[in-house]
Chain A
Amino acid sequence: MSETKQLEERPCGEAEDGELVPRILRGEESAFEALVVRHQGRVFATVRRYARREDEVQDIVQEIFLKVHQKLSTFRGEAPFHHWLMRLAVRTCYDFLRAHQRNKESLFADLNPGETDWLDRFVAAPEEAGDDEDAARSLVERILEQLSPSSRLVITLLEIEERSVKEIAELTGWSQTAVKVRAFRARREMRKRLGRLVLKKYL
């Protein structure tokens, strides 16, 4: 029996991603299920950066895996499977952000007491306001929700996930120049939003 045949016969849970792909293309459902089980945690974590409501998160993850199945024949195996999967995930999240742009102005009106308190402390003594507090995290979440889809995506990938411009270009399909331009605009947009928040609250 050839080595290839032996590899094909490995249980799905033990097979490498690259071995599962041709099996899925031949119609083996259990191979696709194994791929989903292996990668769904990573996809959930990525999607939760862009969508808050759990029902939205689940719908996006489902859409991503359906796209994975539909486009699997385009996976050429030159890079690890999870790189290809993350490209698909990030682009689907970007589509979601573009389709669900929220009412941006209304969100500033209802800062919760924790966020207000954190901002007050920052205004009084900027260095002493901790950045590991829940209030700071929910405040940044609020700011991110007000950014345009491309700004939110680039801030998340570049500044929060600390990815390189090259990586972002590969994930999004944008050129490296476009990533740099969008990053510049995104930082400017974020500063503008923060400035408006401070202006509304303290002046």
Chain B
Amino acid sequence: MNIDLLRQKLTHAARLRTEDDSVPYAFEQRIMGSVRAGNLFRSHARVEWGAGLWRAAISCAAFAAILGAFSLWFPGESAVVEDFGVALENAILPTADEALEVL
């Protein structure tokens, strides 16, 4: 049997069929009811705000990740100092000493 001819005939048969575009009575009321039930009209502004905040949050997270990666790969001098207290003292006291010398 010629399967290709069968396929062509069946496809042509489907093409001849005009699809039914009738709509059930007052179907738009059903849709409007479900939209109202989901409170979608009022939620548009909220959704837009939410989308904006999410975009901002994603940008912030990406920036923080880049900075984190940068500080891990290029630690700099501060990573050498183990004791934060000593580092703070070294940074502040010389300035205070200089101020006292001026007086």
Contacts and interface: CB of A to CB of B under 8 A. Distances in A.
Q: Do A and B bind each other?
A: yes
Interface of A: 25, 27, 29, 32-33, 36-37, 40-42, 44-46, 48-49, 58, 61-62, 65-66, 69-70, 72-73, 122-123, 126, 129, 131-133, 136-137, 139-141, 143-144, 155, 159-160, 162, 187, 190-191, 194-195, 198, 202
Given A25-B44, A45-B21, A73-B48, A190 B7 contact: yes
Contacts of B3: 191, 194-195, 198
Given A29-B36, A132-B16, 14 more contacts: A32-B35, A33-B28, A36-B28, A45-B20, A62-B31, A66-B38, A122-B1, A126-B6, A136-B9, A136-B10, A160-B11, A194-B6, A194-B10, A198-B3
Tell me the dominant secondary structure on chain B's binding face: helix
A65 B48 CA distance: 19
Tell me the dominant secondary structure on chain A's binding face: helix
Contact of B7 (A69, A137, A191): A191
Interchain residue pairs A-B with the least CB separation, the first 3: A136-B13, A45-B21, A140-B10
Interface of B: 1-7, 9-17, 19-24, 27-28, 30-32, 34-36, 38, 40-42, 44, 47-48
